[in-house]
Amino acid sequence: MKMKKRLLLSVLLVLLLAVTACSKDESAGGSEGSKEESKGKTELKLTLSAQPPTLDTVATNSVDSATVARNVFETLVTPNANFQPEPMLAEKVDLSDDGLTYTFTLRQGVTFHNGKEMKAEDVVASMNRWMEASVIASEVLKEATFEAKDDYTVVLQLKAPSSGVLNILASTKQFPAIMPKEIVETATSEGVTEFVGTGPFKVEEVKQNQYIHLTKYEDYQPVESEADGLAGKREALVDNVYFYIVKDAATRLAAIQSGEYDVNTDVYFEQYDVVKQDSNIETFPDQYGNLLAVYNKKSGLFTDKKMRQAINAAINTEDVMLATFSHEELFSLDHGYMSKDQKDWYTEKGLESYNQADAKKAKALLEEAGYNGEEINIIATSDYSEHYDSAVVLEGQLRELGLNVKLETFDWPTLLEKRKNPEAWDIMVTAYSTVTTPAQIYYLNPSDHGWTSDEKIAELLKQIDAAPSVEVAQPLWAELQEYASNDYVPVTPFGTYSLVAAARNNVKGFKIFQGPIVWNTSVE
């Protein structure tokens, strides 16, 4: 009997231990699950609409490349929310009295993702490569040189003063990323293959046409000033960032609605209403640039400025923008060649010639020009809805005026070829992204499509570029815009507009400035 009791007790003890063990396993599993859940909150998942060709911004103008690369690479100076350059990898910038020498004092203790400290030799190698590769830099910084004065001092020597130097260095497009000297020296015409910067995130993996995985750089050294635009403090608040390549707009929309992804960086205008009505999602309009009509000034009817003035007088730009974007929060009625956000350059000059919607004045100018019913050929792309929709509205307005108008639309690659031929079109409806200096405005350049060739514009651009400071250049720019808007009329601006990003409500601190800002962003 005692033996049976002992056996029973042994069995019960074994069962009890087993239950306890299972309980511990379940508890451990629950704890591990909590860890996994917690870990999940340290991931930020975004969509991109296209695969970046490279993460080397010096080798490409791709917007998607810049969107990812800005988290990996940093620059000597970077723009604040007013597009004004502020120090980033430079601690301070000094300019000589003659305007020819910029001295950059570098921040000490900043390391690359490979552990090497950033020094002057790395900056010089990076900047000299960028000056050769960037079209804008090679124009503005002709014959300029970067040299290392010591380990933490870099000198930029100019041949002539230029008001746009720091703005060019702070450009968000094809930006001058600072990389280790030894990596720069391996670069080919297609760029570098090893992406090592000083930014808050480092490249972990690039899976072609699937995703780009960034991880937090634990030894990142932020500046301490308040975050403003791309300037100020940057902090990686998540351990992992995934940029998923999702080319289909409907798929991106469904994924942000379901919570599969945290941020959709490219919401189509047609989807804006749907996204705005979703209480789980917040929208972030991001100013892209100018939507406008470009006149062919090399061949045909619009070599006569009276014809350009006539069309400019006729256009109701408010109707164009409302019909194209529907929501006023997605566009701004703005005549400026530089946007209102650009405090250094924006001017009201030329406003009197904007959004005139004056049919009587237009007809009088057409008569002066001797217009006799000749066909006016408008071209645009059907690949971008804002280009196509605004071109359709423009065509309708000109038909109402009694003009013989034909609208031709093409896919984007075909339009890029078509616009090169001055015999193929009269007006092109297109968009230009925001730039940081007047020198970067392509449609004021004689080599750009539209072929602006005017002595006064060319001379004023030359003086603006050669001015020793922005303050000296500002009145020259105001004079140029007033003359171009009222007299020469190279283009008719419809207004500025925004692209749209969307984020789930559990994404905190997310901001957008010329693309999504991933640092200082967390996920609850």
Provide the pLDDT for residue 119: 98
Side-chain half-sphere CA neighbours of 170 within 13 A: 24
Task: Select the highest-mean-pLDDT range: 1-5, 39-43, 48-52, 274-278.
Answer: 274-278
**Is residue 215 predicted with pLDDT exceeding 70?**
yes
**Is residue 53 predicted with pLDDT exceeding 80?**
yes
Confidence band, pLDDT 50/70/90 cuts, at residue 23: very low
pLDDT digits (tens, 9 = 90+) for 261-274: 999 999 988 899 99
pLDDT digits (tens, 9 = 90+) for 413-469: 899 899 999 999 999 999 988 888 888 898 998 988 899 999 999 999 999 988 888
**How far is the CA of 164 from the CAs of 43, 181, 359, in angstroms?**
39, 26, 40
Tokens for 309, please give them.
Answer: 């003035």
**Is residue 477 predicted with pLDDT exceeding 80?**
yes
Domain ranges of the chain: 48-280+505-523, 288-497
Mean residue pLDDT of the chain comes to 90
For residues 439 and 515, the model is more confident at 515
DSSP 8-state assignment for residue 225: S
Provide the pLDDT for residue 27: 37
- For the chain, give the percent of residues with pLDDT over 90: 73
* Residue among 457, 488, 497, 163 at smallest CA distance from 350: 488
- For the chain, give the percent of residues with pLDDT over 70: 92
Torsion sign, CA atoms 49, 52, 58, 60: negative
3 state SS of 434: coil
DSSP 8-state assignment for residue 58: G
Asked if residue 107 lies in contact with residue 90, where contact means CB atoms within 8 angstroms, the answer is yes
Weakest-pLDDT range from 57-66, 90-99, 475-484: 57-66
Asked if residue 219 lies in contact with residue 162, where contact means CB atoms within 8 angstroms, the answer is no
Matching CATH topology for 48-280+505-523 and 288-497? no
Weakest-pLDDT range from 10-19, 44-53, 233-242: 10-19
Residue 399 makes CB contacts below 8 A (sequence gap 6+) with: 405
CA distance between the termini of the chain: 62
DSSP 8-state assignment for residue 196: -
Query: How many angstroms separate the CA atoms of 322 and 8, rounded?
Result: 85
Confidence band, pLDDT 50/70/90 cuts, at residue 35: very low
pLDDT digits (tens, 9 = 90+) for 244-264: 999 899 999 999 999 999 999
Q: Return the CATH superfamily for domain 48-280+505-523.
A: Periplasmic binding protein-like II (3.40.190.10)
Do strands 43-48 and 240-245 pair parallel, antiparallel, or not at all (unpaired)? parallel
Q: Furthest-apart CA pair in the chain: how many Å? A: 124
**Is residue 396 predicted with pLDDT exceeding 60?**
yes
- According to CATH, the topology of domain 288-497 is Dipeptide-binding Protein; domain 3 (3.10.105)
For residues 6 and 399, the model is more confident at 399
Provide the pLDDT for residue 41: 62
- 516: which strand partners? 512
Asked if residue 46 lies in contact with residue 240, where contact means CB atoms within 8 angstroms, the answer is no
3 state SS of 254: helix
Query: How many angstroms separate the CA atoms of 29 and 32, rounded?
Result: 5
For residues 17 and 247, the model is more confident at 247
